[in-house]
Amino acid sequence: MVSTNNNVLPVGGSQAADFSAAGLLRLIPSGCVFLLIILAAITDCDSGFEVPLRDAGEPVPGCEIGTQRSPQYNGPAGTLGVGICRAREEECRLVDGRGEWVVIHEEVQPQAEECNGLDDDCLGETPVEMWFRTYDELNPMGFVSIEQAEDGHFVLAANEFTEDGYIPRLIQFDENGEVIWDRSYEEGIYAFSVRQVRGGGFILSGSSLEDDQAWLTRVNDDGTEINWSRRYVTPVAFAYAVIQAEDDYFVLIGSGLLAGRGIAGMIKVDPWEGREIWSSRFIGDDYNNYTTMVHVEQTLDRGFILSGFTDDGRLETVYPCIIRTDNRGNEQWHRLLDSVDGAWPAVVGEAEDRGFLVAFGNQFVRLNSSGTEEWRGQSDEIELGRFVEQRASGNFYIVGMDHRTITSFLVNQDGAVIHSWQLQDMGRDFLVQSVRSTEEGYIIAGNYLSGSYDGVSSVQEPFLMRFCLE
């Protein structure tokens, strides 16, 4: 059969072959020409139907694809790679058939700190004041303990001073230190501590100074209703601190009297009515004549760590004291640290390895989980340590004070002071009563004094300070 396919090119004959573009188009069936024209337009609009192809291995004009330029950074020395600070980075990428330099990271230089969870000033962990406020309108009153509530606000235990004695107060502040509400309770009670109760409400601890009885009261979310209130005689008459344990029961600690001696004790009570579940006394020959615990935290293994002091009853020779218990208050070990002039009760924080860092006076001591001292350091910038915790970096953060300033510093895991900062120049005698971690940093509660904190004094004006460490 003879083919009649018009697509077959002539290879001979009297008519010469036409290989021009027009001649080739004549060989294409009329129904397909339109598609070929569209295809050519899409492939190369600039050059008609002649589409140049790049041979394999032929270099792309411009920079070499995948290469990077040297990073460019014009910020202060020592800030590159710290916090948010980074260099400008460029990489060669294919753009419209050419190698072009493309910015893949813009340069970021130090900025003002905003307490936003980022290290904006690129100086590493640095404290930044959020606000400082005094509350002369609340006088005569002394702030004693502060806690961040579940709603982000702050609740504070305080004592109003009257001619007839003391009246415990519970005050809530917003995130900027404005008073939201203020409640008063039973006259004749001196409050020492407040904590948020999981699920709502607050627990306050204190003492009846008339009959030396410990006082524990649970209130609702706005402090208007007392769920229950109880008193305890032994082994705790002065309930200096209370916490809610992981099992939701409350543990209060402090001191009481036994055969003329001041002894440290702790009591566990139920959360529904405050009924005693168990109690413990801490008695020993090296506890001296008077021992009291002022700080308690639950440990990672659900036991407890207590800190305070023991002395001869006249506060002439004071020894910081640490007591470790199991989850039923049975003593596992205790440590009396060297006496330091002017040392008040020790504060303690648990480390991630289940050891502890103890701050007292101007010293700090690292104990392992068995209470054995591993190292010791000191800071000449403070006279009284008031707070200690381990940061996510592994360093320890300590807040302390002297007669005029609030100071904080970072200590590495070998006991060396890395940085120290003056948080606030108070200008006159004062006392930091409470320091707590918050969602965005820390808050401090305290009072200005008419005298010095290590002598006869009276509270003049309460204050709050909030700051972050970023």
Residue 89 included in any domain = yes
User: Which range of residues forms the domain containing residue 108?
Assistant: 62-117
* Residue 367 confidence (pLDDT) above 60: yes
Q: What pLDDT sits at residue 317?
A: 74
Where does the pLDDT of residue 44 fall: very low under 50, low under 70, confident under 90, or very high at 90 and above?
very low
* Residue 221 confidence (pLDDT) above 50: yes
Q: State how far Cα 176 lies from the chain centre.
A: 18
Residue 66 included in any domain = yes
Burial of 12 (0-12, 13-18, 19+ CB in 10 A): exposed
Where does the pLDDT of residue 286 fall: very low under 50, low under 70, confident under 90, or very high at 90 and above?
low
Q: What pLDDT sits at residue 315?
A: 63
pLDDT tens digit string along 177-190? 999 999 999 999 99
Domain count for the chain, please give it.
Answer: 1
CA 348 to CA 207: how far, in whole Å? 23
Q: What pLDDT sits at residue 10?
A: 36
Burial of 287 (0-12, 13-18, 19+ CB in 10 A): buried
Q: What pLDDT sits at residue 1?
A: 40
CA 439 to CA 206: how far, in whole Å? 27
Cα-flanking dihedrals φ and ψ of residue 355, to 5°? -85, -170
Q: Report the half-sphere exposure of 221 (CA within 13 A, side-chain side).
A: 7
Q: Which has the minimum average pLDDT: 13-17, 174-178, 431-435?
A: 13-17
Between 446 and 210, name the one with better pLDDT: 446
Q: What pLDDT sits at residue 319?
A: 84
Which of 335, 421, 413 minimizes the C-alpha distance to 370?
A: 335
Q: What pLDDT sits at residue 460?
A: 74
Q: Which has the minimum average pLDDT: 29-33, 318-322, 364-368?
A: 29-33
Question: Do 171 and 179 meet the contact criterion of CB atoms below 8 Å apart?
Answer: yes
For 362-449, list the strands marked E by DSSP: 363-367, 373-378, 384-390, 396-401, 405-411, 417-425, 430-438, 441-449
Mean pLDDT throughout 56-70? 84
Residue 111 included in any domain = yes
Beta-bridged to residue 157, according to DSSP, are 145, 170
Residue 334 included in any domain = no
Residue 98 included in any domain = yes
Burial of 245 (0-12, 13-18, 19+ CB in 10 A): middle
Residue 109 included in any domain = yes
pLDDT tens digit string along 122-168? 988 889 999 999 998 888 889 999 999 999 999 999 999 988 889 99
Residue 327 included in any domain = no
Q: Report the half-sphere exposure of 293 (CA within 13 A, side-chain side).
A: 31
43's CB contacts (< 8 A; 6+ apart) are 51
- First-residue to last-residue Cα distance in the chain: 90
Question: Which tokens go with 117?
Answer: 């969870």
* Residue 3 confidence (pLDDT) above 70: no
Residue 113 included in any domain = yes
Reported pTM: 0.80
Highest-confidence segment of 60-69, 188-197, 232-241, 316-325: 188-197
pLDDT tens digit string along 408-418? 999 999 999 99
